[in-house]
A and B are shown apart, each in its own frame.
Chain A
Amino acid sequence: MAYKFDFGAIVPHWQLLFDGVILTTELTVIGAVVGVGLGIMGAWARASRAPVISQIVGVYVELIRNTPFLVQLFFIFFGLPALGVKLTEFQAAVLAMIVNLGAYSTEIIRAGIQAIPQGQIEAAQSLAMNRVQIFRYVVILPALKKIWPALSSQIVIVMLGSSVCSQIAAEELTFGANYIQALNFRAFEVYFVVTGLYLVMSILLRMGLKVLGNFLFERRRHV
């Protein structure tokens, strides 16, 4: 008995998939913007002269990079309420993505900062800039430019990883897929289509990040 594929069985539920795509996009955008912001601060802290701060951030980075995202998500959603921190599914998912990307981007951006020639920093010092000014005007933009491809890849990984947020019932794309296959018993077809949607999203995200990079690091006259 050969299985008869029926992709048409998904069509009535397209709204669920659409909503899922929207939510996954929201998660990704918020997670990426705040997560990279966190990474910039983390990289700054790693380079700071206060060893305690640098070490605390170092522990955070290693803890996150050496545990699965799914476990981080469960810990935040199921574990934190024990400390009185009760989050909605969406909040927990966003927080997990921020915390996760924050750690990876800390490490990536730090590498970018380390690649800035010492002469750049000395030149800024000789112009009487303080540490914050040096970081802001001389270091961070060239550093980000250097590691933008790596950072982009990491953001794509985080977007794809958000697929497990369905496990805490955050209503993103995979959640929509789970829901549909429970209604129409067409698991393979649903997941096949959703996989395609993810593929398209990751290609678009990659392209978007490339455009954003060109815009951010484009030679613009500031005066």
Chain B
Amino acid sequence: MSEFSLWDIVYNLLLAARWTVLLSLTAFVLGGLVGLLLLMVRTAGNPWVIRLVRGYVELFQGTPLLMQLFIVFFGLPLIGLDVSPWVAATLGLTLFTSAFLTEIWRGCVESIGKGQWEASASLGMNFTQQMRYIVLPQALRIAIPPTVGFSVQVVKGTAVASIIGFVELTKAGTMITNATYEPFTVYGCVAVMYFLICYPLSLFARHLEGKFRHVAR
């Protein structure tokens, strides 16, 4: 059965890894945008909006990513939208990402003391100006390391999308295993490739953390 050489395995996995990267990037960017929106409405919002966003975060942090993908994948057709695994995975991961990022960023915004809000208010700034000139620039610096750190979770999360049939790195690993009966080698290679994507991100996050530590305090 072994007409697959190690190189064939690696090559095919690399092709699939492109989809892992693409899905990660898309979910991260879209999730970031949604997360930012949620952050804004939450910071400005009335108690009901705050409660709603908190519920949203609770929901996504309190349930498995796999269930979230299943619900999107099986739920959208029920309202007449036929979705491909790609769309379902993108949508599911975007929502997942937005919930986590908005929560991370909320912590960063809240770590900007009340004094900053009051001082800027006393200078006659409105909410948008306070955010734009005072709070966000400070919060951003604190937020960058954990945000980069979370991108690793997004990449790893894309593996779950294989279960709804999206062909990315993990799914390709399963398919190649079924063809070659060499699970040890194949999943070993799959793991190495995830590591090669994630580890630089982790290192970068740690580097940023060290760099911003003295700034933040």
Contact = CB atoms under 8 A, between A and B. Distances in A.
A19 interface: no
B188 to A, nearest CB: 7
Given A63-B195, A161-B64, A163-B67, A75 B159 contact: no
Interface stretch (A44-52, A76-84, A209-217): A76-84
A65 B64 CA distance: 18
A190 to B, nearest CB: 9
A62 to B, nearest CB: 6
Contact of A71 (B59, B65, B159): B159
Contacts of B67: 163, 174, 191, 194-195, 198
Interface of B: 58-59, 61-68, 70-71, 74-75, 78-79, 152, 155-160, 162-163, 170, 173-174, 177, 182-184, 186-188, 190-191, 194-195, 198-199, 202
- Chain B contact residues: over half helix, strand or loop, or mixed? helix
Contacts of B199: 62, 66
Nearest to A188: B74
B95 to A, nearest CB: 13
A69 interface: yes
Contact of A79 (B79, B157, B183): B183
A30 interface: no
A79 B62 contact: no
A202 B67 CA distance: 14
A46 B144 CA distance: 27
B75 A174 contact: no
Contacts of B156: 66-69
Given A66-B199, A67-B198, A188-B75, 10 more contacts: A66-B195, A69-B156, A70-B162, A74-B173, A74-B187, A79-B187, A80-B184, A194-B67, A195-B63, A203-B62
B187 A78 contact: yes
Interface residues of A, number: 37
A71 B66 contact: no
A54 interface: no
A160 B75 contact: no
Nearest to A186: B74
A79 B71 contact: no
A44 B19 CA distance: 39
Contacts of B70: 187, 191, 195
16 contacts: A62-B195, A66-B156, A67-B194, A68-B170, A70-B159, A71-B173, A74-B190, A82-B182, A163-B65, A164-B66, A191-B71, A192-B71, A195-B63, A195-B68, A195-B71, A198-B62
Contact of B202 (A62, A187, A198): A62
A198 B63 contact: yes
A72 interface: yes
Contacts of B163: 70, 164, 167
Closest 10 A-B residue pairs measured CB to CB?
A68-B159, A163-B64, A78-B183, A66-B198, A82-B184, A79-B184, A68-B156, A187-B74, A195-B67, A202-B62
A63 B196 CA distance: 10
Contacts of A80: 184
Contacts of A202: 61-63
A193 to B, nearest CB: 10
